[in-house]
Chains A and B, each alone.
Chain A
Amino acid sequence: MRLLSRCSRLRCAPLLSLSVLFLTLSFLLLSAHAQAVASMRRTGLPAALRLRQIEARASVLREQNDAAELQAALRTGTEEEILRISVLPDEPALDRLLATLDLVFSHLQDLAVLREFPTVTVGEARERSAGGSEWQSVPVTFTVAATEEGVDILFAFLRTAGMLTVSDLLSPEDISRLLTLTEDQNPAAITALEEFLSVDLLRFAVSPRPYQDQLLGALSAPLFAQELTAMLDLPSRRSGLALLHDLAPALRERHLWPVRFLSVADARMEGVSDPWMTASFTLEAAGRTPHQR
């Protein structure tokens, strides 16, 4: 206390106060430095690494998109036309629909997996909407007495009805996965993948090997071949392709390809444990609404 009072008398108190102020400021600046360095080590360095990876990926994507755009420019646009006429027609087109079902039932009878030709009932078209789109749906019902194999084939047919190209057979997740694999293994092979996805599904079902080999020529990594084979080998896809393979000559001859878009609204199977079961289906045949013509 005596020292302080002497200090006050000697006018060194303001000097000491200023010193304390500057020292406090220095301490604050020092801790800010420490925080900045810690933040750089904690978040800056990992973020810089991530940014480099993102930049590299963006560059690959840009190259792939440029290549895909060039390839896309060569398209003729016939698929859209076919889709409008055959897959999602803007008129009932019941003749084609019934002819297709006739063909499938005849095939099942030839295989002795369908007991008798079923009666097909076609209902009134009704408007439906989902995901911002509107369409017409024609209910189609029939009941078959078939073996397990017969019902399997029917489901396989319904799964592929309305599919046009290989891209339609694969799910969006599968296509994304294939694109990621091209990106990792050979970005330039995107054009080969684009060609593969555009292959007509019936042609692919008849002879898949050349198309697969062409794609695998551009992407020879075992992982890609393995994943592609696994995707195409899913039981529902394999049986769908096998059915199209068997029906291809008749579908072409009667001009029934591509098939009308059909989906299962509900199904009922009786005698599930028996060798012959009764399966009733309510299908929906999709088409464009009149104002979409």
Chain B
Amino acid sequence: MLHTDTLPAAPVSGSFLHAFSRGLLLFSVVLTGALSLSWTILLPRFTQFAVGDFTFTVREMAANESALRAQLQTMEAERIRLVLPFQDALFSVLKQEKYAVPSLNEVRREVRHAAVRAQTGDAVVLQEMTFDASQRRVQVTGDVRGAGASSMTVLAAFLGEVERLSFVEKMEHPPFSRIDDPEIGVHSPFRFSFSLTPLFR
């Protein structure tokens, strides 16, 4: 009974499996073939772009973009060369140096305005300003007078205003001191320096 129960089922199940395997193989081969054809023929056609008279793939486009950008830069440089009345290497270098040197008078004016903004009245007396073009460095010497015991506070407020000026790159703070002079009263002399930002004209 055992034999008669199991043996008739075997051929039905075997032929189904065989047919299923053959069908699955056929489907997978056709699918792979179709996708391969799409990959080699269809996809490149649909992922290309026509720019001007040329057609690029995505990869080619990235390379072309950088090449075209470089070409643009060359053309821009050529345009500047053509538009200027003449070319002289030495003159260009000297002009560049000149453009880089700021107007010390403008610096002086701004430092004086900073003293006014610090609401110090005329307590801040600017005595000397020196400017070193090669170092792009300005040194300011002066004194805070007539502010009584708050002369050091006035000086700190003034320095804060100077430090906030757009062209001040780095500032070296002076030592703060308060001197009681029998002639001029309580005063705070100062000497500080700052470097100018490269963009300041």
Contacts and interface: CB of A to CB of B under 8 A. Distances in A.
Nearest to B89: A133
Interface string A48-85: 10111011011001101100110110010101100100
Given A79-B85, A83-B91, A30 B25 contact: no
Contact of B104 (A20, A83, A135, A155): A155
B86 A79 contact: yes
Contacts of A26: 28, 31-32, 35
Interface in A18-64: 18-23, 25-26, 29-30, 32-33, 36-37, 39-40, 43-44, 47-48, 50-52, 54-55, 57-58, 61-62, 64
Contacts, number: 248
A246 to B, nearest CB: 18
Given A68-B82, A131-B96, A171-B201, A12 B18 contact: yes
Given A7-B17, A83-B88, A265 B35 contact: no
Interface stretch (B47-55, B165-173, B188-196): B47-55
B32 A133 contact: no
Interface in B114-145: 122, 124-134, 142
A10 B17 contact: yes
B78 to A, nearest CB: 6
Q: How extensive is the interface on chain B, given as a class?
A: 35 or more
A130 B58 contact: no
Given A50-B65, A51-B51, A179 B80 contact: yes
Nearest to A78: B86
Given A51-B65, A68-B83, A267 B94 contact: no
A272 B127 contact: yes
B62 interface: yes
Interface in B38-83: 38-39, 43, 47, 49, 51-52, 56, 58, 61-62, 64-65, 68-69, 71-72, 75-76, 78-80, 82-83
B35 A175 contact: no
Interface stretch (A105-113, A189-197, A205-213, A215-223): A189-197
Main secondary structure of the interface of B (DSSP, over half): helix
B10 interface: yes
B13 to A, nearest CB: 6
A272 B35 contact: no
B99 interface: yes
B2 interface: no
A64 B96 CA distance: 26
Interface string A248-283: 000000000000010111111111110000000000
B148 to A, nearest CB: 19
Contacts of B82: 65, 68-69, 71-72, 194
Interface stretch (A96-104, A116-124, A162-170): A162-170
Contacts of A3: 13, 17
A132 interface: yes
Nearest to B102: A236
Given A44-B58, A58-B71, A167-B84, A267 B90 contact: no
A152 interface: yes
B153 interface: no
A286 B112 contact: no
Contact of A29 (B10, B35, B64): B35
Contacts of B177: none
B47 A36 contact: yes
Given A16-B24, A133-B93, A65 B78 contact: yes
27 contacts: A6-B10, A22-B31, A23-B31, A29-B32, A40-B58, A47-B65, A51-B56, A52-B51, A54-B68, A62-B75, A65-B78, A83-B86, A133-B93, A159-B103, A162-B94, A165-B85, A167-B83, A176-B76, A198-B85, A236-B103, A267-B104, A267-B131, A267-B133, A271-B128, A272-B142, A273-B122, A286-B90
Given A19-B24, A43-B58, A266-B130, 9 more contacts: A12-B17, A12-B22, A57-B72, A148-B105, A179-B76, A179-B79, A194-B82, A263-B133, A273-B126
